[in-house]
Amino acid sequence: MTSLSRNNSASVMDEDHPDYMQGLHMAMGECWRPHGEPGAKVAGLISNRQRGTEADLFLCGCYIGSHLAAAALVVKSPGGAGLVFFGVDDQQETGRSEAAVACLNGLVALVRTKAIGLLEALVDPILPFEIDILQQSKFSHLTNLIYLTRGVSRQNESYARQAPLDWVSFSEDKVGLFCEALQASYSETLDCAELSGLRPVEEVLADHRATGIFTPSRWWVALAGGKPAGVVLVNKIEFQPAVEIVYIGVAKPVRGQGVSDALLCRVIDTSREAGDRLVTLAVDARNHPARRMYDRWNFEHALERQAWIAT
């Protein structure tokens, strides 16, 4: 059994720890609920682990005296990134902020031994307490992400230019092509540009595969003159008639030539044909050209999250 920390430093809580489940619920907070975002995925991973199925979850707790004051959880993805959740005991009157900071910094130290190259925490920008904790920790603010949605029942008249493209869908022998297309789309990107080059593109692709339900028939590279012009990766959302555009990008030499419109048109048309009702995505708030495009395609604002990272 892991010993309990009494001096406001974080300790790892394994499944045999008497407060393990309390720590999980504390770290997840509102995301623990079935319709939390993105808590449903994490709750499923936790459930699988309890049934004996392997899932990479690492939990840190911090005690004030004998009382669990804060907890932080990281869920490792196949590509070596980690999604972070953290929370505090609202009944704890003093020291809970310091305890939460200790938990987050404990995760940063822990994951260096767990082959996790990037930690990401997503927080609601209207929650100053959580933001203050991140500011005091070893995390840094990356950007704000805007989550958008659009129904698929109608086509968009703004798609007037048919880019002359050839389409290649995903298969295991096409991994190299998809990595090439991703790499081409990163050049001078306005979408979380700070992340470019932090990890091998193969790891990034593995993370995209693990988002939602991997749907290889809806992963496409658009070719122009035999070279990757754009790439769009679409996965199903579990238990919903909806899909998520996990990634969409256009190679720098062909930007402004209708490739992004062609990619979106393909996503919406195939989603409608498959019986889905909704397309969702997230965009960097600083990426104004992409935001104007999504406005043109009648995407609607759903919510916003601050993205914080640690490496």
Tell me what the mean pLDDT of segment 236-251 comes to. 93
pLDDT for 246 equals 96
pLDDT for 88 equals 94
Q: With respect to residue 309, please indicate whether it lies within any of the assigned structural domains.
A: no
Which of 115, 138, 161 corresponds to the end of one domain?
A: 138
- pLDDT tens digits, one per residue of 114-167: 889 899 999 999 999 999 999 999 999 999 999 999 999 866 555 545 568 999
pLDDT for 54 equals 47
The pTM for the full model equals 0.87
pLDDT for 172 equals 96
Q: With respect to residue 310, please indicate whether it lies within any of the assigned structural domains.
A: no
162/104: higher pLDDT: 104
- pLDDT for residue 1 is more than 90: no
Which of 78, 104, 138 corresponds to the end of one domain?
A: 138
- With cut-offs at 50, 70 and 90, classify the pLDDT of residue 32: very low
Which of 110, 138, 166 corresponds to the end of one domain?
A: 138
Question: Is there a contact between 254 and 217 (Cβ–Cβ < 8 Å)?
Answer: no
Nearest alpha carbon to residue 88 among 8, 177, 190, 194:
8
- pLDDT tens digits, one per residue of 196-210: 888 999 999 999 998
pLDDT for 119 equals 95
- What is the span of the domain harbouring residue 223? 148-304
Residues 57 and 202 in one domain: no
- pLDDT for residue 251 is more than 90: yes
Cis peptide leading into residue 253 (ω within 30°): no
> What CATH number is attached to the domain comprising 130?
3.40.630.30
Q: With respect to residue 143, please indicate whether it lies within any of the assigned structural domains.
A: no
Q: With respect to residue 2, please indicate whether it lies within any of the assigned structural domains.
A: no
Helix/strand/coil (H/E/C) assignment for every residue in the chain: CCCCCCEEEEEECCCCCCCHHHHHHHHHHHHHCCCCCCHHHHHHHHHHHHCCCCCCEEEEEEEECCEEEEEEEEEECCCCEEEEEEEECCCCCCCHHHHHHHHHHHHHHHHCCCCCCEEEEEECCCCHHHHHHHHHCCCEEEEEEEEEEEECCCCCCCCCCCCCCEEEECCHHHHHHHHHHHHHHHCCCCCCHHHCCCCCHHHHHHHHHCCCECCHHHEEEEEECCEEEEEEEEEECCCCCEEEEEEEEECHHHCCCCHHHHHHHHHHHHHHHCCCCEEEEEEECCCHHHHHHHHHCCCEEEEEEEEEEEC
- pLDDT tens digits, one per residue of 36-49: 444 555 555 555 45
pLDDT for 139 equals 97
How many domains does the chain contain in total? Answer: 2
- pLDDT for residue 238 is more than 50: yes
